[in-house]
Amino acid sequence: MAVLASVACIAAEDTRRTRVLLERYGIQTPMLALHEHNEERVVPGLVERMREGQAIALVSDAGTPLISDPGFRLVRSARRQGLPVVSVPGPSALTAALSIAGLPCDRFVFEGFLPARAAARRKRLAQLGGEPRTLVFFESSHRIVEAVADMGAVLGPDREAVICRELTKRFETVLTGTLAALHERLGADADQQKGEFVVLVAGQPAAAELAAGVELARALLEFLPASQAARVAARVTGAARRALYAAIAEE
């Protein structure tokens, strides 16, 4: 709060939301809207004010600016002018979700928001299908059901995933399970379709896991149909059931 009270101006993604915070703490600092639709136009004036010695604070509606929020052009322009840019650490849905998901987080891939159109969304997911690192996505309430359905269809319904909703807010929930199970859960509960989401999906199993799964599934074919053999081998080895089934289906 001390920073917001001391700067010359606050560049806010939505001044209406930020005003609520400022009024709560009695802060009178002038605000200026900076969002995806005006950032290119507004940035030169802000940079000039900084060149004159004024301090500008950048805030987003929630979380950390630039993490799927506006601000990149302002930060880049300031740095190109040799102006100091200082981070005031705050909450981020990305790191908050990773810290509680229970999926590997030593290495991960942050994709932000997937494309809004279904065909483009599935194409991007297909490009990520072989990624071994944990995948992290942001998603909105009006696309969460369709997005999780596409994740299951492209990455495999048995892929382990976690859906974090409304993190740090009153109605925070964390759902865990396979993509198929999570899609079913979302469809059955309208309340779980509201709010802001972080979706984390386990990466493609390592080559060693996949190879071990295929070997086990092939051995089980003597006793079980291919679909059941793939399911059992997936449970034992952690490899993706769909990938195992594809490997043994024609044998």
44: left (phi over 0), alpha (psi -120 to 50) or beta: alpha
Residues contacting 162, CB < 8 A, separation 6+:
97, 101, 102, 103, 174, 175, 176, 199, 200
Structure confidence at residue 61 (pLDDT): 85
- Residues facing 110 on adjacent strands: 136
Which residues make Cβ contacts (< 8 Å) with residue 26, sequence separation at least 6? none
pLDDT of residue 225: 92
pLDDT given for residue 251 in this prediction: 61
- Mean pLDDT over 205-231 rounds to 87
Using DSSP bridges, classify how beta strands 9-12 and 31-33 pair: parallel, antiparallel or unpaired.
parallel
User: Could you please report the per-residue DSSP string of 45-110?
Assistant: HHHHHHHTT--EEEE-SSS-TTSSSS-HHHHHHHHHTT----------HHHHHHHHH-S--SSEEE
Judging by beta carbons within 10 Å of its beta carbon (0-12, 13-18, 19+), is residue 221 exposed, middle or buried? middle
101-115 mean pLDDT: 93
Q: Facing residues of 108 across strands?
A: 134
165-217 pLDDT, tens digit each: 999 888 999 999 999 999 999 999 999 999 999 999 999 877 667 788 889 99
Among 176, 154, 159, CA closest to 241? 159
Tokens at 157, concatenated: 């319904």
* Helices 144-155 and 118-127: angle between axes, nearest 10 degrees: 40
Which pLDDT score, from 0 to 100, does residue 111 have? Answer: 95
Enter the DSSP assignment of 117.
Answer: S
Query: Rounded to 5, what percent of the chain is helix, strand, coil?
Result: 45, 15, 40
Q: How many CB atoms lie within 10 A of CB 68?
A: 16
Query: Could you tell me if 45 and 81 are in contact, meaning their C-beta atoms sit under 8 angstroms apart?
Result: no
Higher pLDDT, 236 or 146: 146
pLDDT in tens, 5-44: 999 999 999 999 999 999 999 999 999 999 989 999 999 9
pLDDT of residue 45: 96
Q: What is the DSSP string of 239-250?
A: --HHHHHHHHTT
Give the mean model confidence (pLDDT) for residues 145-157: 95
pLDDT digits 0-9 by tens, 71-104: 999 999 999 999 999 999 878 899 999 999 999 8
